[in-house]
Amino acid sequence: SLCRIYKKTSGNGSIALYLGKRDFVDHVESVDIVDGVIKVDPAELEGRKVWVYLACSFRYGSDDLDLIGMNYRKDIWIKRQQIYPVDGTKPANTPMQEALLKKCEDQGHAFTFNIDNNLPCSVGLQPAPEDVGKACGVDYEVKAYIANEADDPDEKINKKDTCRLIIRKIQFAPGTIPAGPQADISKNFMMSDKLVHLEASIEKELYFHGDQIPVKVKINNETTKVYILILTVGESQCSVCVVVLRREEVKGESTMEKTFMVVPLLSNNKEKRGLAVDGRLKDEDTNLASTTLMRPGMDKGMQGILVSYKIKVNLLVSSGGLLGGLTAR
């Protein structure tokens, strides 16, 4: 069957990297294997070896912030394999690898990586239109290179001896969907002995990209004051507001029960700097970042960016509070 193959060739043409896909799924309990093939022309190796590595890196600063050679990039996890000369035994080839090896003939060499399931998914912070260089975030890279040793800090690897492809680790939601959360509060404000009751809830805890999220709000205003309701949805890790619904007025001594339909979409928030988005590949669109699923025993320090979402309901006194400019909420 026809399938798309991703290829990157080194500047000197000695090695070429092939991948059958660039999206690898985290199924919570396990992660898709990263399988590929490297074509090696030994004519210009000059006794050196060919290596391949898979690295998960966290970039926490933009290129224009680099000072005195500092690199705002940290390798969270990295694995290497020697490709040529062949060293040790290799796992069984996948059907995609078998097809590529037939085309590469005796110059093809397969490689396979297993990604740990405690590693973060690909996520980036949306840059401002005027920002330059690579965006901050977590990304995965497959890189083939020619060197004498796998990782010798004293050996300088020429750029023409390397080829690389950025891949994404994306997350599928778990099969079971817990019931949605509910929050309520009762409060009395200054100069009033009666209460305002506010309750908010959603039907389930998990939603997919593009889903409508029905937010049910109940208000019982026992006071004589008029309140303004404001509902927002945002990413809590960066305090970036994604959706702001229209205001609703709640009159004195009245009740209100209403369901608001919320649809957080990146297409409506493309100008917001610092918004977390799923890892972006060149010339491809993406979505708002998925929530980080933390399993027991996972190290938060290895996650790079933790993503979560919250729904916030504000109730404000419309008169501006006791002193006019002082708002009670």
CATH code for the domain in which residue 218 is found = 2.60.40.640
Percent of the chain with pLDDT over 90: 39
Phi and psi at residue 63, to the nearest 5°: -60, -35
- Domain match, 187 and 164 both: no
163 and 258, same domain (yes or no): no
The mean pLDDT value of the chain amounts to: 84
For the cut 50, the answer to whether the pLDDT of residue 326 exceeds it is: no
How many other CB atoms sit within 10 Å of the CB of residue 319? 12
Q: What is the pLDDT of residues 153-184, one digit of tens each?
A: 899 999 999 999 999 998 887 777 888 999 99
Q: Last residue of some domain: 150, 171, 192?
A: 171
**What domain range is 56 assigned to?**
6-171
User: Both 14 and 162 in a single domain?
Assistant: yes
Question: What is the DSSP secondary-structure string of 39-80?
Answer: EE-GGG-TT-EEEEEEEEEEE-S-GGG--TT---EEEEEEEE
203 and 293 assigned to the same domain? yes
Same domain for 50 and 119, yes or no, is: yes
- The total of structural domains in the chain comes to 2
Separation CA 253–CA 234 (nearest Å): 31
Q: pTM of the predicted model, to two decimals? A: 0.80
Outline where DSSP puts E strands in the chain. Answer: 6-9, 15-19, 23-26, 34-40, 49-59, 73-84, 108-113, 123-125, 137-147, 162-171, 182-187, 196-202, 213-221, 227-235, 240-244, 248-250, 254-262, 276-278, 309-317
Structure tokens at 46: 């000059």
Question: Same domain for 218 and 166?
Answer: no
Highest-scoring range by mean pLDDT, 83-92, 94-103, 226-235, 294-303: 94-103
pLDDT band of 295, cuts 50, 70, 90: confident
| Res 324: pLDDT | 42
* 1 located within any domain: no
Give the residue from 124, 139, 171 where a domain finishes.
171
* Residues 22 and 159 reside in one and the same domain: yes
Tens-place pLDDT, residues 238-257: 566 777 676 788 888 899 99
